[in-house]
Every structure is written in C-alpha cells, then in structure tokens.
Structure 1
Amino acid sequence: MGFAWERVTEVYQNCSHNARIEVIPGQAPFTGHSSVELEDHLCLTPALISLDFMDINNPIEVIHDVRKRLWIERVNQARVAGHMTSWMSSLHPKKLGCRLDCKALNGSYNLCQRLRFCDGTTWLLRMPIVGSVCDEYADEKVAMEVEALSLLRDKNVPVPGVIAWGLTAANPLGLGPYVVMDFVEGASVNTLLREQQHDTRWLRDDICDDDVEFLSRQFARILLHIFQIDFPTLGSLPTPVTVFNAPVRPLTFKAHDILQTGGVNTFGDRTKGFADTADYFCHLVNQDWEQFQRQPNSGGGPTVTQAKYAAFLALHSSVTIPASLTLSFGAQTTSLWSGSWTSNGRTPARRSSLAPWWLLQDRLNNYDTFLNKEEAPRFLGRYLRNLDVFKTVLDEEEARTPGQQTMELSRLGRHSEKSGSMWLHMLLSWGFNHPDSLPFAQLQVRLERERWKELEEGHHGKEAREFTERKLAELDKYDETVERIVCMQDDLENGKMTIEAFVAVLKVV
C-alpha cells in the first residue's frame, strides 16, 4: 500500500478540543476544551520541575518556564488593551467587531482564545506557547498543521475549518505563528472520562463497554478515511496550501519533545530522506539512544543506568538484526493518535493498522510496571478489553465502508497484536523510554525472556561499566547546576534579580 501520512491522524485527535464530539449516553453536554484555564492575569511563575522526574532537563525547563511567563504577560497585555480583538476584526470579511468570549485556554503546547463576533460567529485563535514549542520549529509546526487540517477536511474527516493562519513574521502582535479556525461547540471526552479523583489522564475504570464502543465506533470511521490516504515516500507533508519550505525529514512529536524537554537534538540531517522502512525504524531507535547518551540526567543510579544501557542496545539489535523484529513484525509503524501537533510527516501506511494507544486516554509508555507491580496486570487487562471492543467495531465499520471490503485495516491490526509489533511501535513513536514501561515490558514478554536476555548479553561488561561511570559523573555535575539554579531562583522570587538577568545567567550555566 505504500506510505501514508502520519501527521493526519495526530492532527485529528489534537483538533478534537475544537471539534464536535458526540456526547456519551447518560452524560450532559457542555461547552469547552480539554485544556486548563489560565488565571485572569495569565501570569506564570518559573519553578523547577520535580527532580524525581529524570526525563526533564531542569535547567533547560526553567529557561522555558521563564520565557513562557514573559510571553504570556505579552499575550495578556494584548488581550487587555484590545489589540487581539482589533486584529481578529481586521481578519473578518466584513470587519465586524468581536469580543473575548472566555479566558485564554492553554494545553501542553498551544494557547487558545475564543472570540465572538457581533453576528454570533465564533472563532478560535490558536498560538504555540513560547517555552513549550521550540522557537526554531514553531513556524513549521503551524504550517504543517494547516496542511494536515486541509487534507483531513478534503477527506471528509470532521475537523474545524481554517479561517486564517500566519508565520511569526505575519503576526502583528509579535506573538509568534498562529491559526484562526472555526470554533465548534462540543464536549471534551478527555475531561468526561478521566479519573478526576486521582488527578490523572487515565480512563475511569467504571466506564461501561457500551460507552467505550460508542466512542470507538466514531474513531474507527475516522481511521478508515485516513487509511485511504497514500503516498509513496516517507517525509514531511507536501505544502500546497502554505507553500512552506519544509525539510525532507518531518518535524515529529518524538524528536521535538526530546529536544525541548531533554535538550538533545536527535533530528539528524533533515535534508536527507529515508531509504526504506528499516532505515526509518533505525532512526527512531537511535533517537532514544542519543537522548540517553547525551542528556546529563537521563540515567539515575548505577543499577538503573546499566539496565537502560543494556535495554536500549538490545532494542537496537532487535530492530537492525536480520530475521529479528524488523522482518517478523513486517512493514508496520508507530501507534495512532499521538498527543501533540508537533509531528508533521508521512510514515508507513500500516501505522493506521496498529493497536491505538489512546484506548485508556494516555500513553501506555507512561505506565511503570515496576512501580505498579500489583496493579500492572489489571491495567493491562483493561487496555486489552478496550482493544477487543475497538477491533469488533472496526470490523463492522470496515465491512460496510465502500472500498474497504478487503478488510485490510482490520487484518493488519490483528496481525500487529498477534506478532507483538504493536508494543514495538508504541516505543518507536515516543521518547524517554525505559525498560519498565508497559510497552517495553510487553515487548520482552512477546520475545520471551530468554530471547531478550540473549539480546542483552554483551552489554553488561567493561563498556557498560565505563558508560555508567561517565553518566554518574555527568549526573553529579548536573545536580550541582540545579543547586545553583535553585539559589538564583530564590533571588528572583525575592526581587534581587530580574527575569531578564535570570535568563541570561541560565543560558551561560
């Protein structure tokens, strides 16, 4: 079938905050987004992220937080002074006046502002948040989102229409690239179904199968549309709408997150394409290895560092050795519905056929089987039950969809589950992996423990010990840097240092 667009599946999920989602039976509809309201004055305070979360490079994250605070203050000034509404009115065909319809809303990567015109029309202004999205890639991110939304809309996938968009240079308020789109009233499924009591994104465990089926059927119909999109090569999306000069290699969610959160650039030479699927897979695995090698706090103690070292090299071997995972798992690729808009490319078409990671609303990569040993089997069982429901409705919808009677999507999906490739591709699509995550643990089970031990053999000797010693030395220096930043943060909070001076010192540190 060739290769299909990775980006289109991701855009659909991420624009669902602004698209109509049918309400689950028994639930009252509401208007809103799956994002969190900012305070009235949109003020953020820079703070160190918990040092227990080793994936975050804290000195870099502090810089991002400070820059985010400065940017949001500028956004607030534009809102209060009326510059934002004047700008939106200038984009209206009839130059109608408008007002801010709510507080600004922010997700992980974007700030959204709803605006209501005097004729009742409602728009949504959406801008990448400085500090959450890498400045170097913000323009590309927005341009490729516009391309993906246009493609989805042409394929009759329900997404908001794009009214206007622009790159950084085109924003009269100096707030970066933007997209203006239709606002569609709807209910946030993420909010309705999450475990509110435990402050987690995981799906509530009291959701009945009928409700899971109700939602799965809608997603299945969408996937069947997306599965028909086909292109012969891997790479960035074509840009007929924006005419943006995108590099050959796509801006992916994984590579962007590793750079923005970990401070490690794993994009490689973006002017070069990929020879084939195996080349692409190796590139994805190498991104994990590069992040682990080059991020100073990516290890932990000696035991954790050595375990990661052996696991990543074993994973690399499993993908690159002939007759191993690459051949036995076939030409499929990563899982569906990535939780960001920052991936903008074409990857193997079989990605649409894999088991969706979103069946419990959050990535299984975030579930630690070591810290949750007792609950892990039950949690895995919940996912597999929802997967059974999804497979059933996908079979039914594919059978009645014109041009899909061959049942190729369902067939490939079942193969990915049977072969175990679904677990591999959950790893390949996500950064900051570790051997105790649920997909990593399940991959080891599918390969059988003895086979996995064979792959790890040879990675516990002298080189492993030297690597561990180096990582521990890097971690000591990293901890010293963090302590210095904490002291500077106290000066900032006490008014002894300005934000500008704080950022300048951090860049040197």
Structure 2
Amino acid sequence: MAPYDFIAEKNIKGERLAFARRLIQAIGDIVSFVDNRLGWNRSGKFGGFFKGSFNISLDVKHGESDEHVLIRFPSPGNVYGPWRDEKVKNEVMVMNYLREHTSIPVPCVRSWGLTEESPQQLGPFIIMDFMEGQDLSDLLQQPTESKEEPIILDPDIDEARLDFVYEQVASFMLELSHLEFPRIGAISKDATSGQWAVAGRPLTYDMNEVVTLGCYPADQFATMVSFDRASDYFEARARCFQTHLEVQRNIAGDDEDFAWSQFVARRCFAKLIPTHGTIDDVGAFPLFCDDLRPTNMLADPETMRITAVLDFEFTNAMPAQFANDLPWWLLLKQPAVWLSDGKMQEFLNLFVPRKEQFIRAMERVEAKSPLSAGQPTLSARMRESWDSGRFWFNLASRSSFDVDEIYWEALHKEGLGEGILDRPTLAEKEKFLKQKMNQFDRYRREKESDMRFAK
C-alpha cells in the first residue's frame, strides 16, 4: 500500500483535535440547538461523544423520555474542508432515498443543514435517530490482546451465526443492486417534482483520501461532472491515479525501480479498461456504497440481527459492475494489506471458502426474493466477476493508494508490464524518475525539519 503523506497526516490530527475542542466548548449551544430543532421544550441533555473515521457525533437525550438522537458533524481534516457541505447533503439524500425504497435499517434523519445553519458555524450536521446495537465487526473478529493487532475474521466463528450475517448483508446488496439511475453521480430529490435523479458529480471515498492524505490538487476535481458511461468514469480514474503518483512527494520513496513499477502499474491499469471497464457501459447505474461493511453496522450480540447500517457518505450511483462484486471485507482485513505483505496465496486460501459461503447465502436470499426474477442472478454475476478478475480491477479502481499493489499481485499477466506501453510512454521514464527523486529529497528534508521542530 502506498504511504500517506506524513505531514498531511500530522496536520489532519491537529485539525481534528482543534475541532474536538471546539465541540467540547460548544456542548451547551449544540444541545440547545438540537432541542430547538426537535421541539423538545428545553429538555435536551448531553449524553456523550462518539468518534468515527470521518465524523464526531454528540448523543443528545430527551430529558423527559427515553428518546435520544445523534447530531453528527464531519471532522475537518479527515474530510476535505470545502467538501464538507457537499458530503453531508449527499449522505442525507442517500439515507432518505434508502428509507423510501428499501428495508435496510437506516437511521431516520430528523433534521440536517449546512455550515451556515449550524450552531457556532461548526459545520454541516445531521440529526438522526440513535440506533441500538454493537459494532458488528467486534462480533465477527478474532479476539486480540491489543488494539494495535490487525482485525481479522475469527477463524473459529460459529458458522450458523456467520451465515445469518451473510444472508442479511446479501439482502441489503440485492436491494441496492436494483436501485438504478441513468448516470454515474450523486443523487438528489427535486423539491418541486419529488423525483429522484443524479444531480452532480460522484464525490467518493478515494477522492477525499487522495486530497487529504495524498496532496492531490482538489481543484482538478472542480470541473468533474456526472458520467453517462462507465468507461468514461474509469478513464477519469486512470488519469487521477497518474496525477496522484506525480504529485505526492513520498509515494515512491527514493527507490527508482519501485517508483517506475508504480508508473507502469498505473499506465497498465488504464490499458485494462477496454477489457474490464466496459461491462454494462451505458444504461442503469445502481447505488453503491464502498463502505458497506461490518465496521459500519450495528447488531444485536445475542441474535446477530443487524439493527442499523450507518455511514452512507460517499455513496453514489456507480458503474453497475461494482454492485456485481463480492464484499471485499469477508476476512475483515483489507485485501490490499495482504497483498502488500506478499501474502496473496494466504489471502486466497482464507478468502475463497468465505466467498463460496457468501455466494450460497446470496443464493438463499435470491430464492426468496421477487427481485431476482427474469434476469441473471446477482450470485452468478458475483461469481463471474471473481472468476474473470474484474473483482480486482474494480477494487483497484477505487483506491489510489492500493492500485499498484493490486495491479502487480492480481491483475498483471506474465510477459506484459512495460510490453503493453507505447514508446512515447516509455520515453517518459528518465524525466519521471528525476522528478520523483527530487520530490522525495525535498519531502524528506521537510519531514526531518518538522520532526525536529516538534521535539
């Protein structure tokens, strides 16, 4: 996996800490704000904080009943500042759409607003129902002695309990796969007609990560619009990968061979688009949530019934082939981590049996669902995506930091590599390597200076 920019990471931690302090100082105003928005007649009480990867939430309780809600703010730093309003609006639209059109247990949005409407201008917010349950990943993972140990699926997990979890997630995925739009992008509901449509660019998880942690120039996304072809979307991703490699100063270190291997991987990824990126090129694009995983689900620890699915930020109408993939999280630990450790075969040995178990769960769900009638089943499409290698192409297309590892370990074929690149591209080698070595030298000096200053 490509490293994050150390200096950017440090700045993010500083921004997040400063924002947390602002929230602490504003607790009284926030509680009063929620109280007024919900008409609680000054009975609101502060119930504590919840911290996530991208958001900080406050629990606010109704003082005269058991009712309580969360008010959630995206954290500056973790979320690129100018995109915070856009992120929250997009997520609210998706949550409302899912509550209208699916049985997925999504929290009810009580109220929401942009930065200008928030208490003390803290940022865009969502006030939503507080959902009961325990983090599903905690219920599935192998017990560890330290929080520093990697999270991985418990190999001794009760198979019946895991089957029940898989069936529930399979039903969610089946429903999502049928929520189709004519373009790739963020959805919204027209206030006048009440119709849902794609209304803007697809703001994605990777876009946020590459800007906040990879020094990617955010203004290059400013003109991005929705897409009416999957292949156009993948071409845009390939250009993003190349720009990321060129601008992030520490992405290739000072190893020329490694730097060039990343250049080749990203250019070769683009060459795979005609093969892997034109499936269902035009037509219906279903809603896809890249973060639909146990970490963002709550469940009853006794029954394993999923009580809530959370965090639909960065959910958009996306290429249909994404919806045809198996969940990448079946082992909980990200596949790219296994690949970066040189453990592809170990990953496959563990993942393939879980893949079959999940497909069987999907088949059971499909057998009971009218959604599957008259078309190729989602379970069959999942198997085809895995067997064809498209699973890995899709996964690579969603991560600027992992595309190199995934290409070389899962997509590269013997005898290709530089062989599929044209002469003008290969002629860029000397200039590219000189640029990367100079970049890293400047980055290293800045990092060392920053670390000395911190001491």
User: TM-score scaled to structure 2, two decimals?
Assistant: 0.85
- Give the conservation status (yes or no) of the 8 Å contact 1:302–1:468: yes
Q: Aligned letter for 1:408?
A: T
Alpha-carbon distance in structure 2 between the residues aligned to 1:279 and 1:356: 24
Q: Report the Cα offset of residue 150 of structure 1.
A: 0.3
Instruction: Output one character per residue of 1:100-122: Cα deviation in whole Å (capped at 9) or x when no partner.
Output: 223x1211100012122121101
Q: Give the one of 405, 413, 421 matched to 2:390.
A: 421
State how 1:497-508 maps to structure 2 within 5 Å. Answer: none
Q: Give the one of 112, 115, 122 matched to 1:175.
A: 122
- The match for 2:216 is 264
Check if 1:64 corresponds to 2:4. Answer: no
Q: Report the Cα offset of residue 453 of structure 1.
A: 6.1
- The match for 1:405 is 373
- For residue 435 of structure 1, give the secondary structure of its aligned residue in structure 2: helix
- For residue 174 of structure 2, give the secondary structure of its aligned residue in structure 1: helix
Check if 1:466 corresponds to 2:431. Answer: yes
Check if 1:128 corresponds to 2:74. Answer: yes
- For residue 179 of structure 1, give the secondary structure of its aligned residue in structure 2: strand
Check if 1:93 corresponds to 2:39. Answer: yes
Alpha-carbon distance in structure 2 between the residues aligned to 1:87 and 1:199: 40
Check if 1:105 corresponds to 2:47. Answer: no
Alpha-carbon distance in structure 1 between the residues aligned to 2:2 and 2:351: 27
- Give the conservation status (yes or no) of the 8 Å contact 1:424–1:440: no
Alpha-carbon distance in structure 1 between the residues aligned to 2:320 and 2:250: 36
Alpha-carbon distance in structure 2 between the residues aligned to 1:452 and 1:271: 30
Q: Aligned letter for 2:393?
A: L
Pick closer, same or farther for the CA change 1:330–1:88 going to 2, 3 Å. closer
Alpha-carbon distance in structure 2 between the residues aligned to 1:207 and 1:200: 17
- Give the conservation status (yes or no) of the 8 Å contact 1:168–1:174: yes
Alpha-carbon distance in structure 1 between the residues aligned to 2:19 and 2:94: 27
Check if 1:480 corresponds to 2:449. Answer: no
Q: Give the one of 156, 162, 176 matched to 1:212.
A: 162
- Give the conservation status (yes or no) of the 8 Å contact 2:29–2:119: no
How many pairs were matched up? 424
Q: Report the Cα offset of residue 313 of structure 1.
A: 1.2
Alpha-carbon distance in structure 2 between the residues aligned to 1:335 and 1:341: 9
Identity %: 22
- The match for 2:405 is 436
Check if 1:231 corresponds to 2:187. Answer: no
Alpha-carbon distance in structure 2 between the residues aligned to 1:130 and 1:269: 19
Q: Give the one of 273, 285, 289 matched to 2:242.
A: 289
Instruction: Output one character per residue of 1:174-224: Cα deviation in whole Å (capped at 9) or x when no partner.
Output: 211110100121121112223434622332333243332111100011112
Pick closer, same or farther for the CA change 1:384–1:264 going to 2, 3 Å. same
- The match for 1:115 is 60
- The match for 2:355 is 387
Q: Report the Cα offset of residue 270 of structure 1.
A: 3.3
- The match for 1:279 is 232
Q: 5+ unaligned residues in a row in structure 1: which ranges?
A: 1-52, 491-509
- Give the conservation status (yes or no) of the 8 Å contact 1:335–1:425: no
Alpha-carbon distance in structure 1 between the residues aligned to 2:425 and 2:184: 36
- Give the conservation status (yes or no) of the 8 Å contact 2:392–2:411: yes
Q: Report the Cα offset of residue 335 of structure 1.
A: 7.8
Check if 1:250 corresponds to 2:202. Answer: yes
- Give the conservation status (yes or no) of the 8 Å contact 2:44–2:61: yes
Check if 1:396 corresponds to 2:364. Answer: yes
State how 1:187-206 maps to structure 2 within 5 Å. Answer: 187-195=134-142, 196-197=144-145, 199-206=149-156
Alpha-carbon distance in structure 2 between the residues aligned to 1:336 and 1:273: 17
Q: Report the Cα offset of residue 367 of structure 1.
A: 2.7
Instruction: Output one character per residue of 1:310-368: Cα deviation in whole Å (capped at 9) or x when no partner.
Output: 1111111222xx5x3345x6649998642664424221233222121121224312333
Instruction: Output one character per residue of 1:42-84: Cα deviation in whole Å (capped at 9) or x when no partner.
Output: xxxxxxxxxxx852222233322222222111111122xx222
Alpha-carbon distance in structure 2 between the residues aligned to 1:121 and 1:353: 39
Larger deviation: 151-160 or 238-247? 238-247
Alpha-carbon distance in structure 2 between the residues aligned to 1:442 and 1:113: 42
- For residue 72 of structure 2, give the secondary structure of its aligned residue in structure 1: strand
Alpha-carbon distance in structure 2 between the residues aligned to 1:183 and 1:427: 35
Q: Report the Cα offset of residue 459 of structure 1.
A: 9.0
- For residue 152 of structure 2, give the secondary structure of its aligned residue in structure 1: coil
Alpha-carbon distance in structure 1 between the residues aligned to 2:394 and 2:156: 28
- Give the conservation status (yes or no) of the 8 Å contact 2:338–2:347: no
Alpha-carbon distance in structure 2 between the residues aligned to 1:398 and 1:284: 33
RMSD between aligned alpha carbons?
A: 2.8
- Give the conservation status (yes or no) of the 8 Å contact 1:427–1:440: no
Q: Aligned letter for 2:11?
A: I
Alpha-carbon distance in structure 1 between the residues aligned to 2:75 and 2:45: 22
Instruction: Output one character per residue of 1:228-260: Cα deviation in whole Å (capped at 9) or x when no partner.
Output: 211111222124469999973221111111001
Pick closer, same or farther for the CA change 1:349–1:368 going to 2, 3 Å. closer
Q: Aligned letter for 1:217?
A: E
User: TM-score scaled to structure 1, two decimals?
Assistant: 0.76
Alpha-carbon distance in structure 1 between the residues aligned to 2:165 and 2:245: 37
Check if 1:325 corresponds to 2:276. Answer: yes
